[in-house]
Each structure stands twice: as structure tokens, then as C-alpha cells.
């Protein structure tokens, strides 16, 4: 069963950066396959000795994760197609938890900013028109 997981997936699993569904698959496989558990132990031993793969360095330092500004432009639909494809690739294929988390955070912030609650709107309307009423009372 260890053949089902690439070394990069196992490293991502150890970094807790593998998507939830694939992580569950690894955990189930570890319970059933002692060889996979041994492989994970070997990866940990290699890391503890200071030897790191290029992919591991990229994941650990999140080198491929787009900035919040780039993701914001993506949400606004103003990125060129190549950059937008890269973000879709990170979300849909890689299922990068860091990219997904940043996108969700930006979407939530955008939704909050776009829909102020009713009392806030009412207060703004009242404040912006109150001087008209005070002028009429003086006449």
C-alpha cells in the first residue's frame, strides 16, 4: 500500500499540509501497512539528520503560495489567464491548504465589507440626513 503515496505526499502529510481527504487515506494505510509506517519513520529520521528535499523546502516555506494581493486580484477577476490558471491549479489539483485558507479568508473579508448589517446602514442614513430635519425645525 506504500506504493499509493508519493514521497512528496508523505512529506506533506508529516508537515500537516496534505489535504484532509488524502491525509485520512494515509492514516488508514499506516494502520494497515507496517511498511508505510516504516517509510514515514525513515522520512522523519532523514529530516532529523538535517537532510531535506527541494520539495520539502518549498512546502515548509510556502514558496509557491501566492500573496494575498495576488489572490485578491484573482477574486476580482483581474489576473491574467496564466496566473489565474496557476491559482486554480494550486486549489483544484494540489489542494494546497495554505492557498485555500488565504482565499477563504479574503472571501470572508470581502463578504463582510460588502454587506454591512442593517443597523449600520440605518445609522449611516440617519446621520447623513439628520441636518435636513434640524433645518426644517428651525424654520
pTM, 2 dp: 0.55
Q: Which is higher by pLDDT, 44 or 120?
A: 44
Q: How far apart are CA 19 and CA 131, in angstroms?
A: 56
Instruction: Give the residue among 74, 83, 77 at the shortest CA–CA distance from 102.
Output: 74
**pLDDT-derived band at 67, boundaries 50, 70, 90:** very high
Q: Which is higher by pLDDT, 56 or 70?
A: 70
Domain ranges of the chain: 2-60, 65-117
Other Cβ atoms within 10 Å of 102 Cβ, number: 19
Task: Indicate the average pLDDT of the chain.
Answer: 82
Encode pLDDT of 88-120 as tens digits.
Answer: 999 998 888 889 989 999 998 888 776 666 566
Helices of type H across 15-117:
20-32, 34-48, 54-60, 68-76, 81-88, 97-114
Amino acid at each position: 500500500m506504500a506504493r499509493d503515496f508519493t514521497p512528496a505526499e508523505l512529506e506533506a502529510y508529516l508537515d500537516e499540509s496534505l489535504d484532509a481527504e488524502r491525509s485520512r487515506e494515509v492514516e488508514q494505510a499506516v494502520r494497515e501497512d507496517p511498511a508505510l509506517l516504516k517509510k514515514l519513520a525513515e522520512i522523519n529520521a532523514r529530516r532529523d539528520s538535517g537532510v531535506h528535499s527541494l520539495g520539502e523546502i518549498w512546502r515548509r516555506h510556502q514558496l509557491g503560495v501566492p500573496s494575498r494581493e495576488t489572490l485578491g486580484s484573482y477574486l476580482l477577476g483581474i489576473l491574467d489567464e496564466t496566473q489565474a490558471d496557476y491559482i486554480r491549479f494550486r486549489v483544484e489539483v494540489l489542494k494546497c491548504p495554505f492557498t485555500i485558507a488565504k482565499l477563504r479568508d479574503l472571501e470572508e473579508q470581502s463578504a463582510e465589507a460588502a454587506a454591512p448589517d442593517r443597523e449600520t446602514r440605518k445609522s449611516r442614513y440617519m446621520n447623513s440626513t439628520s441636518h435636513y430635519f434640524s433645518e426644517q425645525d428651525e424654520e
